[in-house]
Amino acid sequence: MKIIIDINHPAHVHYFRNFSKIMASKGHEIIFVARNKEMAQKLLELYGFSYLNRGKGKSGKVGKILYMLYANYRLFQIARKVKPDLFLNFLHPYPSQVARLMGKTSLVFSDTEHANLHHKLTVPFASKIFTPACYRISLGDKHIRFNSYMELAYLHPKYFKPNPSILERLGIGEGEQFVLIRFVSWEATHDFGHFGMTMENKRRAVKAMEPFAKVFISSESPLPEDLESFRIQIPFDRMHDALFYSSLLFGESATMASEAAVLGTPAIFMDDDGRGYTDEEERKFGLVFNFSESLADQDLAISKAVSILSQPDNKKEFAKKRIELLEQSLDTTEFMIQEVLKYDSKAYAN
């Protein structure tokens, strides 16, 4: 099979990289098309994948509409040339719209319930939509649920082995705790109207956690000078090693909260919309603690962080919770392979 995988965000590289390697080893041809967003193209290069560029994208509502027209045209040009059998991507509209135009199969994965605009622009054109079983809403007859999380496509123990050399890189001594704080830009389409933590509370969070752990910040946006000194300075491909060994993930990223959870690191996540998967990771496994963006909840989130960090032995308990999560979840990459191979006429003939 020829499969176009369209990458719209750096996280999507992780979702599909193991799938791509395994499928290529089985004789299938993978064609990556990638938006130039943050580290997406650098990640593809890091993992040894070639790709075709479809531009940098635009910000703002008008800019995003104009970019959709450009991206569809660019993707159509590519597809007409390579003649794919199937399009695969994480929820965004361009591949499904082009696939429908060309009469091809479009398989879409999603875990973000409140991405309303992307749902409207993608679901009508897609062949199937796959989501974790905990997805809060129904997407109709095309919707197929699977018992796992997107992060287990790359952080399942089958694929990920943490490298302890990250501790030396971060200057972490034996028995020393450290915390990762993640602030997002709130520029994604589904983030319109969100503002996250106030700058005052970002500073309060750092000061509250410093007595218990070394603090590192990862931020999509510029930081004021007093917080910039906390910015983590590691290669972008070492973040998962840092997450594994950290005592806590604190911040505004749902993906990183779930990444922490499947690695056995407790996560505090703040977002007014929340996610079905972080809700489940709290309800079933006690690995995520969900809060809104309200000022009252920001205070509660900081207090919860201090409570976790003040009990360093808790890390062992969270590691046990991770084992429970893994025992109850599928290997997401293997699930992807099984679903895609259903559309392989040669495999079916055999």
Is residue 156 domain-resident? no
Distance between CA atoms of residues 71 and 6, nearest Å: 10
Residues 170 and 182 in one domain: yes
Q: What is the CATH number of the domain that holds 205?
A: 3.40.50.2000
Q: pLDDT tens string for the chain (350 positions)?
A: 999 999 998 999 999 999 999 999 999 999 999 998 778 999 999 999 999 999 887 777 788 788 889 999 999 999 999 999 999 999 999 999 999 999 999 999 999 999 898 999 999 999 999 999 999 999 999 999 999 999 999 999 999 999 999 999 999 998 899 999 999 864 544 444 547 899 999 999 999 999 999 999 999 888 999 999 999 999 989 999 999 999 999 999 999 999 999 999 999 999 999 999 999 999 999 999 999 999 999 999 999 999 999 998 888 999 999 999 999 999 999 999 999 999 997 654 44
- Long-range contacts of the stretch 126-130 (C-beta < 8 A, 24+): 126/96, 126/99, 127/99, 128/339, 129/91, 130/335, 130/339
Residues 176 and 318 in one domain: yes
Is residue 160 domain-resident? no
Is residue 313 domain-resident? yes
Give 44's contacts (C-beta < 8 A, 6+ positions apart).
7, 13, 32, 34, 50, 51
Torsion, Cα 30 341 116 289, to 10 degrees, reads: -90
Is residue 276 domain-resident? yes
Residues 186 and 280 in one domain: yes
Domain tally, the chain: 2
Q: How far is CA 26 from CA 19, 30, 203, in A?
A: 11, 11, 51
Residues 43 and 130 in one domain: yes
Residues 54 and 130 in one domain: yes
Is residue 93 domain-resident? yes
pLDDT attached to residue 62 = 81
pLDDT attached to residue 36 = 87
Is residue 159 domain-resident? no
Residues 188 and 274 in one domain: yes
Distance between CA atoms of residues 5 and 32, nearest Å: 5
Is residue 158 domain-resident? no
Is residue 154 domain-resident? no
Residues 221 and 95 in one domain: no
Residues 221 and 261 in one domain: yes
Q: What residues make up the domain containing 38?
A: 2-148+330-349
Residues 132 and 169 in one domain: no
Residues 106 and 192 in one domain: no
pLDDT attached to residue 185 = 66
Residues 136 and 170 in one domain: no
Residues 323 and 338 in one domain: no
pLDDT attached to residue 61 = 74
